[in-house]
Structures are given as C-alpha cells and as structure tokens.
Structure 1
Amino acid sequence: MKQRIIKVHPADNVLVALADLQAGEEVTYNNNRYKILEFVPAKHKFAIADIPQGGEIIMYGVLVGKAQSHIPVGGLLSTGNVVHAANSFLTGSSHTDWHKPDVSKWQNQTFNGYHREDGSVGTANYWLVIPMVFCENRNIEVLQEALVKPLGYGRKKTYEIKAQQLISKIKAGGQIEEVLYTEINGDTTRASGDKLFPNVDGIKFLSHTGGCGGTRQDATTLCGLLAGYITHPNVAGATVLSLGCQNAEVRILQEEINKRSPQFNKPLYILDQQKTGKEADLLELAIRQTLAGLMQANANTRKPAPLSKLVIGLECGGSDGFSGISANPAIGYTSDLLVALGGSVILAEFPELCGVEQNLIDRCLDKNNAERFASLVRSYSQRAEEAGSGFYMNPSPGNIKDGLITDAIKSAGAAKKGGTSPVADVLDYPEKVTKPGLNLLCTPGNDVESTTAEVGSGANIVLFTTGLGTPTGNPVTPVIKIATNTTLFNRMSDIIDINTGTIVEGDETIEQAGERILDYVVKVASGEIEVSAVRHGQDDFIPWKRGVSL
C-alpha cells in the first residue's frame, strides 16, 4: 500500500482511509498533519476540519450529509454522527463542454460480432424461450429439460457430483470428513460433447412471475421489456408461450416489438396454449419450431464491426468505500472512451443518483432531456417517500459497514460510472437506446432489476463494479465483474473478472485502468474471453414492476 489516505475532490472536508488507521496515529496529506482520534477502518472517512452540529459534509465536491453532532478534526464519520443530506436541483443551466479523451489507439479497432439486419451488432448469439405469463413457467421448464442438454448446451453440476460422493460414503457407513475431494473450480463446467449448433451460444429461458394479476401498466411494461430482449442484438430469435387470456397480451408484445424494430424479421414463434389445446401438442410444436429457428440462427457468424456498435450498461452492486475511488471512475473513463468512439453507454439506478442530479442536468444536451430527468427523479423519489422508504434508505447493511454511510455518499461515487461526457438522452424503463453517447435510464438500484433493464434497453456488454462481491449475470449479455479492491479480487476470483484495486494501491491511474477495461471489453465482445458470470451460467432476470424498489 503506497498511500494510506486520499482526498477525492479538492473541496472535500473529509479524507478517505485506504488502510486501517489507529487511534493516535498521525497522517499527512498535502503537508497538513491530522491526528486520528479513534479507529478509522479502511474505506471509511474522517474529518479534516471541525464540523459543527448541522454542518455540511462535502465529498466528491458535493453535499453528502450533515453532522448530527460535532465532529472534530480526525474524527470518524459514522451513522451515529452523520445523517443523509443532498443538494436540491433545478433545470435551466447547461454546461456540456467536454474534453474528449484521446482515442487514437482504438480509432480503427473492431470487434467480431453478430450483425443484425437492423444495423445493430451482437456480442453473442442466443435463442430465447419466453413465457408471456407465469402460468407457462412449467412448460418453459419442460422445454429447457428437453432441449438444453441434448443440444450440447447443458452444464454438468460439479457440486452434484460432490454430493453424490458424500451420499455414497454415508451409505457405506463412513463419515463425511473421510470423503476425498477433487479439485473443483466453480460450481459448473461445460457439458461434454459438441454443440449441434456451434454458432449459437445457447438457449435461454426467461421465466418470470408477471404477465397477469398485476396492473395493466405492469403487463404493458413487461411486454416492452420482453420486446427489448427479443429485438436485442445478442438474440437470434425467440419462441414465446402464451396461455391466451393473460393481461400481457400477444398483441401488446407485437406492438412493443414494432416500436423497437419496425422492420423486425428475426424468426419468432408465438404459441397459444388455449388455442393449441393439449399440452403435449403445444410442447411438440414448440420443440419443432425452436429447432427450425436454431438452424437459421446457426447460419450467422461473427464478423468485424466498429466499436461504435457497442452499447455498454454501467452497473454496481455490493458497493464499498472504494467503489467511487477505483472501479466506478475507471469504468467512467471507459465510458468516455467509448462515447468518443461513437458508442453508447447506459447509466441507470436513479435512486443512486441522489445528490448529483444537478451535475447530470447540467450535462444534458437539450432542455427536454433535462426536464424529463428531473421529472423522473422527483416522481420516483415521491413514490418512495409515500411508501415510507426514501432514497436515504438505499444503502444496504453491507454498504454501510464498508463506508457508504449515507445515500448521497453512495450516489456520488456511483455516478462516477457515467464519466464526464454530455447526456445524449434520458429514457424511462423499458425504452430502447437509440442515440450514441451517455444515456440515463430510469431503473431501481436493485442490481438484478437494473441489469435486466439495461440489457432490455440494448446493452450488449455490462460493466458491473463491486466492492463486496456479487455473482450477478444476465441471460443474453456478458456481465463483466470488476473488483474495487485487490483483497476482494483475490478472495472471490471465481466470480470476478477484473481488478481495479491497483488504483487504490497507487500502481495504476484511473485512466490506465479505464483503457485496460476497454481492451478487455473488446475481447469479450469478440467472443475471445468468456466472463465468469457466463461461465457459471448466472442467468439473472428480474423484471421491474413500477412500484418502489430501491
């Protein structure tokens, strides 16, 4: 560890501990010496100026809290002496001047992707099987069992083998401790045998609990999300099962598909169980049509595409006190590089933009987007308050334990994922990204709901930062997991792909890490690297009902 403390922004009145600081220890920053008054764990903050009761706490150059009691120089900031506070925001101003990073290194670089007739390019090639309503989930499971392993996409469950070893030993009268374990890396391995369709990465089954019984708005929103996946560049085609009487009508799904792809021509098979009749007839027809579709999908092969065809979703989960110092600003720089190359990035998780709204409003390229963003944030915040759970309740126990003690501290660091480029568009869930540049997408802060939404809006790669570790993935889009600290990267190397703890340790700059991440993205997009979430079959898919979810 080359440095023990860091100041994130010149205007801050707190410093961040990069290592545990003991009571009585003296530390120096910019020739100023500070005596630590009490133990400050790594990732937590201490005051560098006396902060009176009610005084403002500034971090990342913005208001992130107020003191509930006097905090002396060298005093630890905690949930006991700090309460959430954030600046209000107004529309009307605009500061969209932007210093583009040097992208000459990547100007003529390409990735090998799957070209679709609508001009988009996929980083993968999947077939989808989708229920319109939860009533069809069992049939989806039957199709999954019938198709996945016979086609060579199944995964041999290594922990099932381990359990069988234990069971056999117990049956023989032995003790569990006597079982000889073999080396197991991860919880799944590829099934043996060749895939029948080598150019198709897999068949994905998007089971869910919606489609009926909720509000009509929920049903329409679900249809929009499903349409986003069906028209997604990483998807070759889909088989859809409908019961026939649900709120999420096939008619609505087709309308949502046409909104996103007016000239839609992928193979799409929609089956109505109540019209077909017997379950056996439905499933036999679904299998026959799916196999026909897979034959068409297999005809598509990877070809070079410009980096401008990349759409990157930006996500964080299991954040810690280093998230806003290392991983988030690193992918923020990656975002700026991609925007400068003509690509698109998606910054979502609106509850985690609390306190930095003004900065994003000022970066909007037009007034309508600024006003739409402000309106979406205000209405979302109001719904949360009405439910008795405001944005200030967003940090999880794990976040708080690792230094993110107010929502504004968490949000100011989370917003770093969006880099510094102007805001090209503001989208409401589940709208599709249509413009290059930085897009703001209204989603919850919930990891899986937000990742599901970003992919539904068109993300063909997701960059996911974590300080505590999370296995989150997606059925059709590679989710690249990025550790904020080296300890996590080493401890959970089976589910983490990239380490940015090098920034905290002083071995790498934010810009160097951001460039390294973009190089990695290009390899993943070309199918040269299989990320951990894909390798483990981590197919998380949770549609967001437009209620309050933080």
Structure 2
Amino acid sequence: MKQRVLKVHDSDNVLVALTDLKKGENISFNGDTYTLQNDVAAKHKFLTADLKAGDSIFMYGVLVGKAQEALAKGSLITTGNIKHASSDFTTGERKTNWVKPDVSKFADRTFNGFHRKDGSVGTANYWLVIPMVFCENRNLQVLQQALVNDLGYGRNVTYQNQSQQLIELYKSGKSVEDILQADIETDYSKQKSQRLFKNVSGVKFLTHEGGCGGTRQDAQALCALLAGYITHPNVAGATIMSLGCQNAQVSILQEEIQKRIPDFDKPLFILEQQRVGKESDFLSLALKQTFAGLIEANKVERKPAPLSKLCIGLECGGSDGFSGISANPAIGYTSDLLVALGGSVILSEFPELCGVEQNLSDRCVTTEGAERFSHLMRTYNQKAIAVGSGFDMNPSPGNIKDGLITDAIKSAGAAKKGGTSPVVDVLDYTERVTKPGLNLLCTPGNDVESTTAEVASGANIVLFTTGLGTPTGNPITPVAKLSSNTALFDKMRDIIDINTGSIIEGEETIQQAGERILEYVIGVASGDIEVAAVQHGQDDFIPWKRGISL
C-alpha cells in the first residue's frame, strides 16, 4: 500500500500528508495512530502530540513555529493556529566532517564546454549587448531587431495565426460568447533559421532599469553585477552601450572587471552615445563591432572538460509542501556529488535560510566564514524589520496554500538544496565564486533576482525546483526546472524539465534522483540537451538594488 504520510526527521512533532486525508480518519505511522481533527490536504501537516499555547513545533529537526492556542493531536497546523518561530544562532563550533557520496560512476566523466583563458569553462558561448543605463534600452531593442532573427537566433513561438482567426470571426459577425468558445488553432512552429555562427549560442541583450538615479551604491552594485556577466565563462565577449553622463560609469565597470579577471582579454567594445553623436552613427558602429565580435566568438569550439569545472546554482521558486522532501533534497544530493567531484555549488536566497542558520554556520570551514554569514543574515533581517517587514513575511500566498505556512518551514526545506557538504565560502551579492565546494551567496528570496545573482557569481548551470510552476530562465545560463510533484510535471510539461515526484510516489530514492539529475546536467552542459527556458527564450534578468526584497 502506498505510504500516505511522512515524518521528515525523528524529532519532528508533525507528519506530512502525501495525499488528501479526511477528518476522522485514523492514520497509523510507525506503530502510533492519529485521529485527524481536520481535513488535511496533501502537502500540509498535522500534529503528532497535544500542544499548549506557546509550545514549539518542529519539522526537519528544527524549530519552525509556536502554537497560538491549545491544539489536539491530529490537528492541522495553519497560519491561524501557529506562528513563525526559529531558534537563535551563534558562530558555534566547526562541524565540517561529512560523508561523501560514492562518485565512482562519475569519476572519469567529462562535459563538452567552451574553455576560457582564465581556466574557466562555459556551458554556452553567448555574446552580450549591455546598456550602462536605462536610457540605452531602446537602442538595444533596435540592435536586437537587426541581429537576432537574421543571425538565426529567433525562437519566438508565433500566435499570429490565432489573432488572424479571431479577426475573421469578428468580421463574420460572431458574438463575444462565440469568440470565447471558438476552437482556434495554435502554430507551435518556432522562428528558428540556420545559424550563421554555429559556435555562438546567441546574442543576449541585458536591458534593465538602473544606471542612474538611486544611490551611488546602486550604480556600483549594478556595475559589479554586469562585470560578473561579462567575465562569466558562458560569455565570449560584449558590446557596452553608454550614454555618458550616468552614475554607472564605464570606468567603474572596468574596475569591477579587473577585480574578477586582472588579465581580462575577451573582446569588449565600449561605445558612448554622447561622444559619438548621431544615433544612426552610434547604432551603425555598435552593429559593426558586435558583428566583428561574433566572428571572433565563433572560433571557440566545445572541448572535453572535467566535471570539476561545473558551477551549479541552486534555486527554488513557487515552492510547495513537497519541495523540501523531493526536489530540494534531490538536487542537494546532486550538489554533494558535484562537490565530491571537485565542482562548485551556490546556495543563495538568504531570507529562505531563516531557522537553519545554526546548521549552516556550523558547516562553515572557518570561523570567519561563520561570522560573515551571521552578519549578513542579521543585517538583512534587521533592515527588513526596520521597514515593517522581516524574514517571517517571506512565504507567498501560493506557498501558504500549498503547505509552507511559516518562513521557517519554507526555509528548512529550501536549505535542503545545499546538501550536506561543508561551506567553503560566504559571499556577498555580486562576489565571484573562487573556491570549489558549497558557497553561500547573499541574495533576496525573489527567484529571478537570486538567479540573476547566482549567474553573476559564476553559475554555469542553474537547477531550479518548483512545486507550483514557473517559467524562470536566464539570458546566458541554462536554468533546468524540476517539479516537486508529478501532477505539476504533467500539467506544465512545456516549462518543466525534470520530475522528482517519483520520490513522493516511492518509485525512486533521493540518491537515485540526484544521480539522474547529474546525468541531465552533463547533457545540458555539453549542449546535447536544451532546457525549456532556453527553448522559450526566457531571459529573466533583474538586478537587486540592495533594498528590502524578500
């Protein structure tokens, strides 16, 4: 008989419903029986003991909430009867011993990537066109129209035939009701012609709303982020378009590039509109220089590289009550496999590490790293509290509806993405990964802001888990989407790449799923598999202005 409930950790006093359960049912688990006091939907939790007001609730072995009233064994926990709570933390002692997974089947494996002179290896080979300020966004759009389709990089699914069918229905006198119920055909053919430059993955345009106004710190952070993209192993070179008078000066960008790669030698074309003059001359020059850069970029070909050259960003968005027991621990095991092979992984989204700080702090290989992690977490949370928020306000309505009713529950499950390996470095926003192993990166919980940051820090693949579904992608790094449940995978198969609902259904272990995911990563890194976000041209890019974003 299929398992109906799950206890995540021996010390937990809640059970997770793996399927819908009804009030009055007697649920047996590990020799104990619980009479349900409420209906319990799949992904939600019920208590395994009577609680008094103020008693602690534990899940994943950590404090996740406090009862707000007396609650009977078998009661559903909700936002109405418990509140977020988490344990305080200290820098503590170093607990960096871990049991490395068996990586014998991957020990001699390679992927085919683009080798850079600084020793890094890309999983793609993009050319970037970047504005230093939002004033240049329209010029980027003009270049995009001139370059993308003619060079063979157009990917847009066309719905024009649908609009034409609707126009004909309207002209024929059909009513609004008839039009809404009409069976119109969708053309799923992709606007994809033969690429002129076969070794160039595409030309990407990083439009944004920054570069001027705001604070000088905003401009500095933006330049650091853009430098992370320009120096990224997935990037062959870049065209920079500057107005000239903005806060985000080209000189700041150049300084940030030098910080990351002192002997930077990729093609980099910098154009300043106020210096060139006429817009037509400015755009013609940008077009010619970009085309020349693409000729150079096309000379780089894929060659074998060890898996230690992979840097995986670990991300989640639209999480549900199954995320922390299927998709997240599955990529956590993938993370451990890669770390054991000498690769790098990035765990970010600091508001979603609330409640597990002690575990992560203890895993830092140095006291300095633990202290930095503590400082970044406390400072971030205090800034949120100062504007009337706080990490406890992180869960979204969708999270809550699907079982993540406190930030600590959400965070304890989200942290599973980081596996069990030691934390080798703690990075602030835009800082570059320089050490193999698990790196903590300070970013918001907002999935696009966080993914944008992970890539700037060096992620050449991103594994993105979701329980509710999201199309999130990135301009230069493939973002593979993993569903926590099979129902989501079946419903949104066009944007989901991997299903881990098999873990919930008892068909696969976390370890088996983790190995399967690493096999998939190797295929993506080699260019043999194109993830859905790349197929759809999902190029999400949102810089963080270091304000309060949860």
Determine if the TM-score, normalized by the shorter chain, exceeds 0.5: yes
Aligned partner letter, 1:112: N
Mapped partners of 2:444, 2:324: distance in 1? 19
Mapped partners of 1:20, 1:172: distance in 2? 48
Aligned to 1:4: 4
The counterpart of 1:182, out of the listed 182, 185, 191, is 185
- Choose 254-263 or 162-171, whichever is displaced more: 162-171
Q: State how 1:494-513 maps to structure 2 within 5 Å.
A: 494-513=494-513
Mapped partners of 1:355, 1:441: distance in 2? 17
For the residue of structure 2 that corresponds to 1:382, the secondary structure is: helix
Alpha-carbon displacement from aligned partner over 1:12-57 (angstroms, at most 9, x marks no partner): 0000000111011111111111111110111000000111100000
Alpha-carbon displacement from aligned partner over 1:276-329 (angstroms, at most 9, x marks no partner): 011111000000000000000111111100000000000000000001000000
Aligned to 1:74: 74
> What count of residue pairs does the alignment treat as equivalent?
547
For the residue of structure 2 that corresponds to 1:324, the secondary structure is: helix
Aligned to 2:520: 520
Deviation at 1:156, TM superposition (A): 4.1
> Is 1:160 matched with 2:160?
yes
> Is 1:92 matched with 2:95?
no
Deviation at 1:195, TM superposition (A): 1.0
Deviation at 1:183, TM superposition (A): 5.2
8 Å CA contact retained: 1:364, 1:425: yes
Aligned partner letter, 1:85: A
Aligned to 2:348: 348
Give the structure-2-normalised TM-score.
0.98
Aligned to 1:412: 412
Deviation at 1:172, TM superposition (A): 4.4
Alpha-carbon displacement from aligned partner over 1:355-408 (angstroms, at most 9, x marks no partner): 000000000001111100000000000000001110000000000000000000
8 Å CA contact retained: 2:156, 2:536: no
Aligned to 1:475: 475
Mapped partners of 1:329, 1:463: distance in 2? 12
8 Å CA contact retained: 1:473, 1:539: yes
> Is 1:357 matched with 2:357?
yes
Deviation at 1:177, TM superposition (A): 6.0
For the residue of structure 2 that corresponds to 1:158, the secondary structure is: coil
Mapped partners of 1:522, 1:155: distance in 2? 24
For the residue of structure 1 that corresponds to 2:425, the secondary structure is: strand
Aligned to 1:464: 464
Aligned to 1:434: 434
Alpha-carbon displacement from aligned partner over 1:513-536 (angstroms, at most 9, x marks no partner): 000000000001111111110001
Mapped partners of 1:177, 1:465: distance in 2? 34
Give the direction of change, closer, same or farther, for the CA distance of 1:62–1:143 in structure 2 (3 Å limit): same
> Is 1:121 matched with 2:121?
yes
Aligned to 2:397: 397
Aligned to 2:61: 61
8 Å CA contact retained: 1:165, 1:179: no
Mapped partners of 2:173, 2:535: distance in 1? 36
Aligned to 1:191: 191
> Is 1:254 matched with 2:257?
no
Identity value in percent: 71
Alignment gaps of 5+ in structure 2: none
Aligned to 2:549: 549
Q: Report the aligned-residue RMSD.
A: 1.2
Aligned partner letter, 1:394: N
Aligned partner letter, 2:542: I
Deviation at 1:173, TM superposition (A): 4.0
For the residue of structure 1 that corresponds to 2:240, the secondary structure is: strand
Aligned partner letter, 1:203: V
Q: State how 1:68-467 maps to structure 2 within 5 Å.
A: 68-174=68-174, 176=179, 181-182=184-185, 184-185=187-188, 189-467=189-467
Mapped partners of 2:31, 2:210: distance in 1? 59
Deviation at 1:3, TM superposition (A): 1.0
Mapped partners of 1:365, 1:184: distance in 2? 54
Aligned partner letter, 2:446: N
For the residue of structure 1 that corresponds to 2:168, the secondary structure is: helix
8 Å CA contact retained: 1:66, 1:84: yes
Deviation at 1:271, TM superposition (A): 0.2
Alpha-carbon displacement from aligned partner over 1:210-254 (angstroms, at most 9, x marks no partner): 001011111000000000000111111100100001110100000
Deviation at 1:159, TM superposition (A): 1.6
Deviation at 1:184, TM superposition (A): 4.7
8 Å CA contact retained: 1:100, 1:336: yes
For the residue of structure 2 that corresponds to 1:50, the secondary structure is: coil
Alpha-carbon displacement from aligned partner over 1:115-143 (angstroms, at most 9, x marks no partner): 11111111011110000000101111111
Q: State how 1:527-542 maps to structure 2 within 5 Å.
A: 527-542=527-542
Mapped partners of 1:512, 1:151: distance in 2? 41
Mapped partners of 1:208, 1:160: distance in 2? 28
Deviation at 1:170, TM superposition (A): 2.5
For the residue of structure 2 that corresponds to 1:519, the secondary structure is: helix
Give the structure-1-normalised TM-score.
0.98
Mapped partners of 2:79, 2:92: distance in 1? 35
Mapped partners of 1:171, 1:516: distance in 2? 53
Aligned to 2:38: 38
